[in-house]
Amino acid sequence: MLLGLGGGIAAYKLCEVASTLAQRDISVRPLFTAAAQRFITPLTLATLCRHRAYTDEDFWQASQGRPLHIELGEWADLLVIAPLTANTLGKLVYGMADNLLTNTVLASTCPVLVAPAMNTDMWEQVSVQRNWRQLGQDPRFHGLDPGAGRLACDRVGTGRMVEPAVLIAAIDALLMTGGRRDLAGKQILISTGSTREYWDPVRFIGNPASGKMGVALALAARFRGAQVTLVHGPMAAADLAPLNQVQLVPVASAAEMEAALINALPLADWVIMAAAIADVKPRHQATEKLPKAALPEALPLAPVPDIAARLSQLKTPQQKLIGFAAQTGDILAPAQAKLVHKGLDAIVANPIDQPQGGFGSEMNQAMILMPGRPPVPLPLVPKWQLAHQIYDVVLNHFIGTHLGPSPFG
């Protein structure tokens, strides 16, 4: 991977990115613009990447063999440009090449991930917004919208480059797929996390689902070209942080999740039910916290409606509904029963009693069941990787993979 640094204070964030990728044994070569060297030294990135850093001085020196920008462009599987400045953005849009970075872009054919960072007034200029939209029409380019907050210039507004976790998640996705957009044009609705069924303002029935699998599915779909809506139960902010250009709908109870999913269903092509939704709820809910002495010895329960089965009744024949089944012991028989009973187009069965897997873990494994096909086993891998494998399987089953550009922004 080529890591191209633009001239901006946000360049310091690339230190964490470079270090994380190097520890994963991903070969990273840093490439500096002249302005980037005023914010962070090539020595810093060269040390973190375990590889020399390239600058414009290398570009303009007499070549000892093939031109440097040709060698780098042909070598790269992915090119990342961060922070992307307004100046470099304009050059990319118009195919201009006056330094090593922009020449390497033109000499390469790999996907390019860009993460802008600039002052709010600069970002909101008509010309900059026009360039950003136009770059999004090029299928090679994958963009991460800047966030809002207090900037280095003390301005509060949009222009902050995404955090390292967001960049790393995007890099993972693009290295996994090679930048293909085989979900372009699809609207994908995903549920994730747990639900909470309160029986007084501070006590609830719940489960330990973290929502990380649903986040991984949302990120994978977004970088494969889909428009994604994620309906999620209560989750840690850090787990939601990598999501960029994904519509988030927070809920707490199963009833709220059902309402949100039904509301979003008409626009969805696929619905993926990765949430761990409660099966029962307290029959009565107190409006004030019950004192310990007043707690009942037995808690009357009422069933929670089966949301997946309800969505199966409401969806059109063109819409696809994918369920999840977290199981212990035999995972196939219960998943097969749910596949038929709920009217699903596919179901992903997860063993939650295996080492390194289960709720809250970074890893997962699965069996995918689809009507009329033998189960497809997926081995234990990081959840972001499993998400892409799930899409590979269901794309092949539903429609066959297809390529197509999808604008970002």
CA quadruple 306, 309, 313, 317: dihedral positive or negative?
Answer: positive
Residue 107 vs residues 9, 101, 177, 180, 363: alpha-carbon distances, Å: 27, 10, 21, 19, 37
75: left (phi over 0), alpha (psi -120 to 50) or beta: alpha
Q: Is 334 exposed, middle or buried (0-12, 13-18, 19+ CB in 10 A)?
A: middle
Cβ atoms 243, 210 nearer than 8 A: no
DSSP 145-167: --EEEE-TTS-EEEEEPPPHHHH
Cβ atoms 132, 89 nearer than 8 A: yes
Q: Could you tell me which of 203, 196, 325, 211 has the C-alpha nearest to residue 256?
A: 196
Q: Is 20 helix (H, G, I), strand (E, B) or coil?
A: helix
Q: Is residue 110 annotated as part of the catalytic site, yes or no?
A: no
Residue 212 and residue 200: Cα distance in Å, rounded?
A: 28
Residues with catalytic function: 153
